[in-house]
Amino acid sequence: MKKLILVGLCMMSWVLSYETAEAQKYAYVTSGAILEKMPEMEQMKSNLEGYQAQLQKKGQQMLQEFQAQQADAAAKKERGELAPVQEQKILEELQKKQDELVNYEQEMQNMLLTKQEELLKPILERVNTAIQDISKEDQYTMVFDMSSGAVLFADSTSDITPKVKLKLGIVE
């Protein structure tokens, strides 16, 4: 009798696990293909390029000031107008300016990355919302992103990229 109950429980758990496995739906999306078609990305690139131009302009001004000071110091030294103490002081100032230039270049890169993240965040949130909406509507258990390269195989019928593009109003 105990064996019969045990066999019954095993069969019941097997049937339930089979039904659970059947109920799961998977899909994938290629977020890179979506992002490259979004008009917001062009606007973001334009804004980022404008911001980069502003930062580069400031850096160029700093460089021109440094080069002018360097040329002035070299001319004074050549004419013999500098005492050794003055020459040392000017060299220290020039080294300080050069360090500022290097620091500004690094700071500029960080500022550009921060600005890019700031501009990209609402775009990614919009795409993510569309993916989540479609996933709920079509009852997907999981949706993978092919752009990340983590999926080794996917049937093309599981691709919801066109649905996400349509939801976002992207027409090809």
Across-strand partners of 145?
A: 29
pLDDT score at 150: 64
Q: What is the DSSP letter of 138?
A: T
Average of pLDDT values for 33-42? Answer: 93
How are the residues of the chain apportioned to helix, strand and coil, as percentages rounded to the nearest 5? 80, 5, 15
Residue type, 69: Q
Angle between helices 84-137 and 39-79 (to 10 degrees): 170
Q: Which helix (H) or strand (E) holds 153?
A: none
Q: Which of these ranges, 22-26, 64-68, 76-80, 152-156, has the smallest mean pLDDT?
A: 152-156
Banded model confidence at residue 151, pLDDT cuts 50, 70, 90: low
CA distance 66 to 22: 70
Average of pLDDT values for 26-31? Answer: 89
Question: Which of 77-81, 98-102, 141-145 is most confident?
Answer: 98-102
Between residues 141 and 126, which one has the greater pLDDT?
126
Average of pLDDT values for 42-56? Answer: 96
Between residues 128 and 151, which one has the greater pLDDT?
128
Tracing tokens 């890169």 back to the chain, one arrives at 109
Question: Model-level pTM greater than 0.85?
Answer: no
pLDDT score at 24: 80
Q: CA-based angle 79:62:81, to the nearest 5?
A: 10
Q: What is the distance of C-alpha 154 from the center of its chain?
A: 25
Burial of 127 (0-12, 13-18, 19+ CB in 10 A): buried
Dihedral (Cα; 59, 63, 69, 71), 10-degree rounding: -170
Average of pLDDT values for 19-23? Answer: 53
Range 21-168 has CATH code 3.30.910.20: yes
What average pLDDT does the chain have? 84
* Strand 26-29 with 142-145, pairing: parallel
Average of pLDDT values for 80-105? Answer: 92
Residue type, 79: R
Say if CB 94 and CB 69 are below 8 A apart.
yes
What ranges do the domains of the chain cover?
21-168
Banded model confidence at residue 154, pLDDT cuts 50, 70, 90: low
pLDDT score at 153: 56
